[in-house]
Amino acid sequence: MVKQKIKDWKDLWVSKTDVVEFLRCGYRVYVSHITGIPIQEMKDNRTLNAILALGKKFEEEVVEEKGIKELESLRELGQVKETEVVLKTPQLFKNNKLGIVGIPDLIDMSMGALYPVEIKLHNSVRKTDLIELGFYWRLLEPLRTKKSKPMGFVLLGTGETKQVELPLDILEMVDFYIQSVRDAKTNGAQPSLSKECKSCTLAKECSDVLSKKGDLSLIYNLKAVRKQQFMQLGITNISDLTKTDAFFLHQDLVKRFGVSPGFDEIRRMQAHGFSIIAKKPIFFGQRDRCGIFNKHKLIIDLEYDPNSLIWLSGALVDDQDGTNSVQFFSENNTKANERKILNSLRKFISKYPKYPIMTYGAAADIPQLKKAWARHRFPDAELQAILERHYDINAFLRNGFRFPLHNMGLKDIGSYLGFKRRFDMDGLMALIEYFEYLNTKKLGKKEAIKGRLLRYNLEDLKCTQFVANQVDNILNTCIDASEKTIS
């Protein structure tokens, strides 16, 4: 933490946005600083605007519902500082000692304790929420008149308010990130790959630079901390990784750092390295498990809101009779309407009792299906029967293949294998459009939005079908790990 008071921080003031963006991509923070281009302009504006619109709408609803007073200036803060009210203060706060600036969503005055309050659309407290609250705790320190234990509150999308303690290690982490932002702005930062790349204008530039270097961050599931450990052991690029004995690497990691990826996981990292170098898929799974994709199949894809109500369920059958798809759309996003579209989905699934049920990414659709099943008290035996014949195509690919790609999302894999998308939308943009559908009263506009949402859902179903049907082709053209010396 910077202890001295500096009157003029010039352009080294650090905001909460700086810290959050640094956690997403330090290189983007650096580029923004030296070029003067706002980070927001380096992102896909459609996705960014969707996020901002959804967050702003939710924040306005919370403020209105709870009757929270809004201060027009910081001068008013002194008049109410030692009260029990919660305030919205859309004014820029500055901590001159630390050189940080920001605007908390809300402040719980609590007789001068000044607890920061963050409004979040998600359903549970995340690590980044702790960092943001810690930042605002530091920001408000000069104004605090009551000594109190560091903490804050998160208002969640579920309507719950979570009290969050801010232990010393969180505050020290905030101090570290504040200094890291300044270091990045002053000394520069190196490109890296993350999920942020999907919506970033710098993605191709960074990918080209990292590909030429054979950077370790290209390896699937190799986190930044692990990359640093590898580099300390002399493994500085992908070529080094593929030439290293996996058994001894595992031992060296345990000896040096006390922890290590499993031996099999190291071999998978090496397999990905071979795939990137050869620019071809590599297979290390079990071929006898691949036959399921050649048979008839039933594919499902769900769309749902932040509170987990499913508003669109799509299903596609692929068998000897061709392709047959259905979609069930919730017109008003109520629990009753969710039950209606799920009953339609259940009826459709029941027509194909022996077909394997497939999704791309069980971490998304299956948990939502389970929650909805419990919400409506549908028969447990029916759900269990669905789960027993469920196959996650994404998990199958992750457990048996590596591609010359950084990500293995549906769009990434589908595009690599040759699926041509005609409709450019993602889940967040779809959700924003659905809320717009609910709020508009113009019939023509509603039908246009509904049409786009149905086309988006159908395209994901068809892409999932395409990927599943390509498994045989991949097996016939990929490198077999058994033919490579991976250890």
The predicted-structure confidence for 443-477, as pLDDT tens digits, reads as follows 999 999 999 999 999 999 999 999 999 988 888 88
CB 347 within 8 A of CB 380: no
Nearest to 362 by CA among 326, 339, 396, 328: 396
pLDDT of 4 higher than 70: no
Asked whether residue 195 is assigned to any structural domain, the reply reads no
Of the candidates 330, 353, 324, 352, the residue with the CA atom closest to the CA atom of residue 342: 330
Are the C-beta atoms of 220 and 402 separated by less than 8 Å? yes
Tally of domains in the chain: 3
- Is residue 414 one of the residues assigned to a domain? yes
Across 278-304, average pLDDT: 85
For residues 270 and 307, membership in a common domain is answered with no
Instruction: Judge if 156 and 239 occupy the same domain.
Output: no
CB atoms within 10 A of CB 105: 22
Contact 110, 151 (CB under 8 A): no
251 vs 137: CA distance, rounded Å: 42
Q: Are residues 336 and 453 in the same domain?
A: yes
Q: Which two tokens stand for residue 163?
A: 């009290």
* CB distance 301 to 461 below 8 Å: yes
Using CB atoms within 10 A of its CB, is residue 257 exposed (0-12), middle (13-18) or buried (19+)?
middle
Which of 62-76, 332-346, 453-467 bottoms out in mean pLDDT, i.e. has the lowest?
A: 62-76
> Using one digit for the tens of pLDDT, what is the confidence trace for 384-414?
999 999 999 999 999 899 999 988 999 999 9
Residues 109 and 219 in one domain: no
Whole-number pLDDT of residue 410: 93
Which pLDDT score is estimated for 306?
65
At 485 the pLDDT is 45
**Res 9 pLDDT > 70:** no
The CATH number given to whatever domain includes residue 441 is 3.30.420.10
Which residue is listed with tokens 């457990």? 399
Q: Where residue 275 sits, what CATH number does that domain have?
A: 1.10.150
303 and 227 belong to one structural domain: no
Cβ proximity of 91 and 73 under 8 Å: yes
Domain membership of residue 193 (yes or no) is no
* Average pLDDT of span 44-63: 70
Q: Strand order of the sheet with strand 479-480? A: 401-402, 282-283, 479-480
The position carrying tokens 């086309």 is 455
Burial of 120 (0-12, 13-18, 19+ CB in 10 A): buried
User: Rounded CA gap, 148 and 165, in Å?
Assistant: 11
Residue 231 belongs to domain spanning: 214-279
Residue 453 identity (one-letter amino acid):
L
Distance CA 353, CA 332 (A): 30
Q: What is the pTM of this model?
A: 0.78
Q: Which residues pair with 117 in a beta bridge?
A: 106, 153
CA dist., res. 319 & res. 10, Å (int):
66
Tell me, yes or no, whether 73 lies in a domain: yes
Q: 229, 250, 279: which is the final residue of a domain?
A: 279
CA distances from 418 to 193, 207, 222, 317, 332 (A): 23, 20, 26, 21, 36
Does the structure show a pLDDT above 60 at 7?
A: no
The rounded distance, in Å, linking the Cα atoms of 175 and 410 is 38
Tell me how many degrees the CA angle 430-433-435 measures, rounded to the nearest 5.
110
Residue 196 lies in a domain: no
Looking at the structure, tell me whether residues 318 and 463 fall in a common domain: yes
Do 316 and 251 share a structural domain? Answer: no
Same structural domain, 228 and 349: no
pLDDT classification of 199: cutoffs 50, 70, 90: confident
Phi, psi of 317 (to 5 degrees): -105, 130
Same domain, 223 and 123: no
Q: Which of 143, 171, 187 is the last residue of a domain?
A: 187
Residue entry with tokens 């990500």:
407
pLDDT, the chain, mean? 88
The confidence score (pLDDT) of residue 486 equals 41
pLDDT at residue 361, rounded to an integer: 84
Residues 57 and 159 in one domain: yes
Whether residue 4 is contained in a domain is answered as: no
- Residue 421 backbone dihedrals phi, psi, to 5 degrees: -80, 140
What are the backbone angles phi and psi of residue 399, rounded to the nearest 5°? -85, -5
| 223 and 271 in a common domain | yes
Q: Work out the pLDDT band at 487, boundaries 50, 70, 90.
A: very low
Question: Is the CB of residue 138 less than 8 Å from the CB of residue 102?
Answer: no
Q: Which of residues 227, 259, 279 is at a domain's end? A: 279
d(CA 263, CA 248): 10
Could you write out the DSSP letters of every residue in 305-317?
A: -TT--EEEEEEEE
SS3 content of the chain, % helix, strand, coil (to 5): 55, 15, 30
Residue 245 shares a structural domain with residue 105: no
- Measured distance CA(73)–CA(92) in Å, rounded: 9
